[in-house]
Structure 1
C-alpha cells in the first residue's frame, strides 16, 4: 500500500511498485482544483472534492480534474469482489460526505504527516485505510451488495488458512511470513483473524500439534522418533515441542503414543527430552 502527492506535469514513475493487475489506484481531486479538460466551466473552481478509482498505472487524469493525491491498495487486501469494484472504475466517487469524505480527509492528513509516524503506527493505520476504502466503494453500490466486502475478507482468510495448512512443516512459518506472502501488513492479518477462535500464531501452533499427534498415534510412524516427527511439522526445537504438546493435551508426546498402543519410538526407549 502506498500514498503520495501528485505534482502536475511530473512523470508518474515509482520504482518497485506492484504490477498493474495487482492493485487499485484511488485519485483525489480537491475542492479547489480547477477543471483542466476542454469545454469545462471556464476554469471555475470545482464545488467539492472527488475520488476516482482506476485499476491501472497510466497517466490518465480524471475528467476535468487535476488530482493531487493517489492511493494504491493491492487487490488481494481490498475487501470487495473485483466484479463489483469494476462497476466503479473511472467514475466520480463523491468526497463531500459520508465514508468518501472521511477517506479523503484521512488520506490528506496522513500524507502530510507520514514522515513523523513510527513504522508500527503506520502499519496499524493500513487497516483503517482499507476499511474506509471498502466503505466508500460500498456506498456507491446497490444496497444488496453491502455485505460483499465481508465476503472478500472471508475469501482472503480462507486463502490464508490454506497457506498455513500447506506450510506447517516450514519452521519459518510465522504471522510475519504469512502476511508477507499475501502482501498485507501483520496488523491487517491479525484484524482478519480477530473474530476467529484462534489467533494466527495460535492457529499455526495448533495445526502443527494436531498433525504431530496424528503421526505419533498412527501406525505408519510408530517407530519414528518423537523428535523426527516434531521437526517434520515445523518445530525447530524438540524441547519446545514437548512443552507445547504437554500444555495442549495434558500428557507428553511419548505418553500419548504409549496410551494409543504405540512403542514410544526407538523400541520404546526414546525420552521426551
Structure 2
C-alpha cells in the first residue's frame, strides 16, 4: 500500500491511515478455505486507535493461503492471536505450532501458510486477534523477527500480563469511548513491545527474577491505565499493589526512573500525541491536559516546554493541521 506510519503520528490523516491499513489485516481475509466454507460465526471489533482488536467466532475449518493473494503490506502488520475457546494449528514459513486457551501466537501474514481451526466440541471457536502496524512498535530487526511464528505460553511473566490484558479488552461487557480506546491502545502497544523484547532476549520460558519484573510491569500498566486520574501518585500506586512506597521507589530506581517522573513523562507523551492529532484540533489545550491528569494548565505548559523545548500551542500549530474538506 506504500503507507508510512509514525508512532508519534503527526500526519493529519493518521487515524484514518491506521484504520485503512489495519482493515487489510484480517486473519481470514487473505486466506481461502479449501472448500469455500463460510467460516464466520459472528464477532465484534474494538477500535484501540493504534491497534484493532477483533473478537472472532469461527466455525472449525482448515484454511490455506492462496499464493496469488500475497500482498506486500502483509509483512507490515503484526498479529497476536489469543484463543478464547478452541485450538489453532498454524504453519508459518514452514514451521508448525499449536496454541490453545492459555496461550498466544504472534505472526505476520506474509509467511502464513495454513491455519487449522479446531473447536472444543462446540459449534464454533472464539479468538481474540490484535493487529498492530509494525512501525508503531519500537522494535526492529531481530527483536521483531525472532518472535514471529511462535506460540507463547501465557501463564507467566510479561506474556501472561499481555494475554490477560487482551482478554480483558475482549470482554463483551467492556464499553469504551473513543478516548478510552486510544488510551488502552497505547498501553497495549507498550505491553506488546515489552513482551517481544523479553521473548527476544530469553525465549518464552520464565526468567530469574521474573516475579519482580512482572510486578514492575504490572505497576507501569496500572499507571498508564490511570493517567487521567489527577490523584495518581506514588502513594496511591503503592496502595493499589499492597506494597510500601519505599519498595515502589526501589523498583523504579532499579530501572533508572523515579515514580513521579515516569508518571509525568507518560502524561506528557499522551498529551503530545493528542495535540498532534488533527481530529482533536478543536479541543482546547487545557482540556487535553486535564484528560491526562494535569490539574493545572500552567504546570502542564511549563512541563511541556521544559521537556520538548516549545509551548503546547507552538507544538500544536507546527504539527496538527485541519484536514481540508472536499
Quick check: TM above 0.5? no
TM-score by length of 1: 0.41
Which structure ranks higher in relative contact order (CA pairs < 8 Å, sequence separation ≥ 6)?
2
TM-score by length of 2: 0.35
Which structure has the larger Rg?
1
User: Which structure carries more strand by proportion?
Assistant: 2
